Structure 1
Amino acid sequence: MTHKIWLRMVVGHERERAAATRWASERAENVNEWGRNIDAALWREGEEFAMSLAESARPQVQRLVAAGVDLGGPGGIELLYFLTRLLRPTMAVETGVAAGWSTSAILAAMRANGVGHLHSSDFPFFRLPDPERYIGYLVPGDLRDLWTLRIKGDRRNLEEILLPGTEVSLLHYDSDKTRNGREFFLRRSRPHLTENHVIVMDDIQDNLVFREYAEAQPLFRVFEYMGKYIGMTGPGLAAVERGASTG
């Protein structure tokens, strides 16, 4: 009986993943074309930042590889830089830091804006020795004054971040990819969203949570990135596509 239940769960998950992948692939746009059509100069600024970060981080990444540590690579950091520059958030929240690629993009854009603070949620990779030291490993020292990192896991971290009266205009979700994890994040953050917020969610092909949420919104976008899919939605997206600042 236990084996049958397990099989049903696995088969159900794979069917949902296949449906989510199909839905995302049918709606995916080219993120570079999207960004350039909105503001070519600002998108180029994001691309230049991404190339600069990859070059400056190369020695650190090589040290990690030599030590047998794989924290993943950059994923859509041009998009996060671009959104942060246009939205000009006073407060942003991200879940899932790992090496700190996306963290660095948001922080660098905040520095360029002259406004903003990023609150990040993560949980150490316990399969690694002294795992806390790797969280945000690549985040430049001159950006860390704009950053607060918590490492107790999303459910505990978000209780500390999303205090009564807190308002967030940019959210980036890249942590627990399960249905429960995504649904908790959306439910917990909902009371704290500004009227012009944008939510970015990575790996939306893993399940149908983003589809279910996005199709109830006025506008959403899906982008393919290195064989995976990034979803973006929220009322602030319309302003972004006009090239207007919502901050």
Structure 2
Amino acid sequence: MSTVLKTFVAYLKRPALYPELGRKIIKNTVSRRSPFKGKAKANFWAASIAVSQEEVISRLFSMNITHFRSTYADILEKASLKEKECPIIMGGSGALELIYYACEFTKAQNVLETGVAYGWSSLAILLSVKKRNGTLYSSDMPYLAQNGDQYVGYVVPEHLKKYWQLFRFADRESLPKILKKVSSFDVFHYDSDKSYHGRMWAYHKIYKKLRPGAVFISDDIGDNSAYQDFCNRMDISTFVVEYNGKYIGIFVKEYVPLIRAK
């Protein structure tokens, strides 16, 4: 059975995912929107200002990157072994230090992420929020073509899962459910729908829910110009991190001073 057919059959078995199935059918048959809108522009811009995650962590958070790997060496080694034994292939580990220190900087209680895969970013977040008895809210689609539902978040140790709420729908369904439960977030990490319009929808939706001083992180911003365009429209000053040949956007949401009536 082809991958496309396997995926379609898997969707049919899950009525909760019918809205996403409908969107995919429209996107692949009717819609002419390009998911890569502004890609060349975005990569040129990102490359022109990109720095290392070590530099961003130092400049933005005034923290030293070296402690993370040494402090959690045992947990990270076990997670790496778990990934190697996993029978399906998902996304890589990413810039874990950037995510972890964003949570430490904000003393995060409530964190939102889109995209889980093996659960590397989830692990980095949970290692921080557990210190404050906080909660990570994650949105991720089941890996339908690979029959990999049970492997999402595979590297996350059992003792951390009590701080984790995982929503197994597309972002268009998961995010409204999560936003009804939580009034504001301290950190947001985006790593799901890579399309221009998917990103723009989520960016605007989540930005309103970030408290002043919260950290916004988006992976793979070179896929299209959504992140660059969003920052320009919102007049946001952002850092760009180059990591393993890709670009990550990160900024701290500014405090907006109250305007007192005269």
Q: With structure 1 as the length reference, what TM-score do the two structures score?
A: 0.82
Q: Return closer, same or farther for 1:210/1:50 CA change in 2, 3 Å cut-off.
A: farther
Give the Cα–Cα distance (whole angstroms) in 2 for the partners of residues 40 and 191 of structure 1: 27
- Residue type of the partner of 2:40? A
The answer as to 2:90 corresponding to 1:71 is yes
Which residues of 2 match residues 1-247 of structure 1 at below 5 A? 16-36=38-58, 38-41=61-64, 43-48=65-70, 51-64=73-86, 67=87, 69-112=88-131, 114-129=132-147, 131-163=148-180, 166-215=183-232, 216-235=234-253
1:196, distance to aligned residue in structure 2 (A): 1.8
Equivalenced residues, count: 223
My pick for the range that moved more, 51-60 or 191-200, is: 51-60
* 1:187 shift after superposition: 2.3
SS in structure 2 of the partner of residue 163 of structure 1: helix
Q: CA RMSD in A?
A: 2.3
Q: Pick closer, same or farther for the CA change 1:220–1:50 going to 2, 3 Å.
A: farther
* 1:88–1:115 contact (8 Å) kept in structure 2: no
Q: Deviations over 1:85-131 (max 9, x none)?
A: 1111221100000000000000001123x2421100000111112x2
Whole-angstrom distance in 2 between the partners of 1:143 and 1:128? 26
The TM-score, its normalising length taken from structure 2, stands at: 0.78
Q: Give the counterpart letter for 2:100 in structure 1.
A: Y
Question: Which ranges in structure 1 are unaligned for 5 or more consecutive residues?
Answer: 1-5, 238-247
Cα distance, 1:201–1:47 mapped onto 2, change above 3 Å: same
* SS of residue in 2 equivalent to 1:181: helix
Aligned residue type for 2:191: D
Aligned residue number for residue 244 of structure 1? none
Question: Higher helix fraction: Structure 1 or Structure 2?
Answer: 1
Percent sequence identity over aligned pairs? 30
- Measure the CA separation in 2 of the matches of 1:171 and 1:59: 27
AA partner of residue 96 (structure 2): I
Measure how far apart 1:40 and its partner are: 4.4
For the 8 Å contact 1:122–1:150, the answer to whether it is kept is yes
